Copies of this chain bind each other. A is one copy, B any other.
Amino acid sequence: MRYCAEISYLGSAFCGWQVQPNGYTVQEAIGTALQRLFHKKTDVTGCSRTDSGVHARQYFCHFDADTNLPVERIAAALQFYTPKEIAVLKVTPMADDFHARYSCTGKNYIYRLLNAPVQDPFEIGRAWWVKYALDTEKMNEAAKAFLGTHDFSAFCAANTSVEDKVRTIRECAVKDCQNHTLEISITADGFLYNMVRIIAGTLVSVGTNEIRAQDIPEIIESKKRAYAGITAPACGLYLNKVYYN
């Protein structure tokens, strides 16, 4: 039987999602927990590769298991073997062709900024601290330019092997939140490698008047990574919602 697990995790505790030789990852943590629970090596496939330090408020992964455990008890049993920096929210039986990554129809990311002259100790590892005053009105004007279907080559890490860089952004907005924090919310059918972090870095440059809001369409059209802003640090990025049909 194929199962889908809904989890959330504190990214600062892990070297990203995907198993790698040099660090403890979420995939390794879940894989080890599944093996201990089912007494059998069990592969787990995630909806997205998140980088080291990136957080997930909602994340889905799938695995196949043959178990007598009632489905309503699998989540708690899996949580028992999983470190506390990962919450196992729900486990659901799925059709055999469900795939956490390929069945996904869209994702929403939040990028959190702390915009204050002094660092907030409670935001370390949880928001990008930008001490220069940001013009959120200009940032929102720039955010609108990302909406729609575009080739986002300029907003993709230069070393990517993906060929089709056309994606559709359904929502892109900057919101003032409490305690001097800003949230950039971006929803799309799919994302290129580092896309949200480069958009966030670019919007911050708009907010500090280094890039003009009206130049965003031209930057997109250029397809040149060098014309966009910097890649914002991982700590501010949250995978927030994952959509399936």
Report the stretch among A93-101, A120-128, A160-168, A228-236 that lies at the interface.
A120-128
A120-B9 Cα distance, complex, nearest whole Å = 8
A side interface size, CB within 8 A:
21
Contacts of A120 in B (CB 8 A): 8, 87
Q: How many copies of this chain does one complex carry?
A: 2
CA distance A233 to B67 in the complex (A): 38
- Which of B85, B86, B124, B126 meets A84, CB within 8 Å? B124
**A interface: dominant SS:** mixed
Is A10 part of the binding interface, using a Cβ–Cβ cutoff of 8 Å?
yes
**Does A79 sit at the interface, judged by CB under 8 A?**
yes
Query: A89 contacts the other chain (Cβ, under 8 Å)?
Result: yes
CB neighbours of A79 from chain B (8 A): 118
**Quick one: closest B residue to A79, CB to CB?**
B118
> How many whole Å from A13's CB to the nearest CB in chain B?
8
A84, A88, A121 interface centre (most CB from chain B within 10 Å): A121
